[in-house]
């Protein structure tokens, strides 16, 4: 491998913006935020990345069904393509 062309691969803490849960992993992502995490070696400071959705809050992994309605788009869809009351 060529020296000095690869990004720094280091421990990083990702935090779910919805639930607040955190997990420590390794990444090359850069951020200016940090967080103190209690580890077996004591309290360590790691870079912090806040993610909008992780497996902890994603509907597929949690089993929750959420409908995000942007300006009545769901109702508009249901009116246009939904089931009719007439029998088939």
Identify whether 5 is part of a domain.
no
Query: What pLDDT shows up at residue 84?
Result: 59
User: Which tokens hold the place of 15?
Assistant: 């935090």
Question: Can you give the residue range of the structural domain that contains 28?
Answer: 10-81
The DSSP output letter for 17 is T
Identify whether 2 is part of a domain.
no
Identify whether 40 is part of a domain.
yes
Nearest Cα neighbor of 49 from 76, 72, 71, 27 is 27
Identify whether 37 is part of a domain.
yes
Identify whether 14 is part of a domain.
yes
Nearest Cα neighbor of 7 from 32, 25, 29, 31 is 29
Query: What pLDDT shows up at residue 29?
Result: 93
pLDDT over 70 at 71, yes or no:
no
Query: What pLDDT shows up at residue 69?
Result: 58
User: Considering its fold, how many domains does the chain have in total?
Assistant: 1
The DSSP output letter for 57 is T
Torsion angle, alpha carbons of 23, 29, 32, 33, to 10: -10
């Amino acid at each position: 491998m060529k020296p000095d062309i690869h990004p720094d691969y280091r421990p990083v803490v990702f935090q779910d913006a919805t639930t607040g849960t955190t997990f420590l992993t390794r990444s090359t992502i850069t951020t200016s935020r940090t967080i103190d995490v209690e580890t077996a070696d004591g309290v360590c400071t790691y870079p912090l990345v806040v993610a909008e959705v992780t497996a902890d809050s994603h509907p597929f992994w949690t089993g929750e069904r959420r409908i995000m309605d942007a300006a009545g788009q769901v109702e508009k869809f249901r009116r246009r393509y939904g089931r009719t009351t007439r029998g088939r």
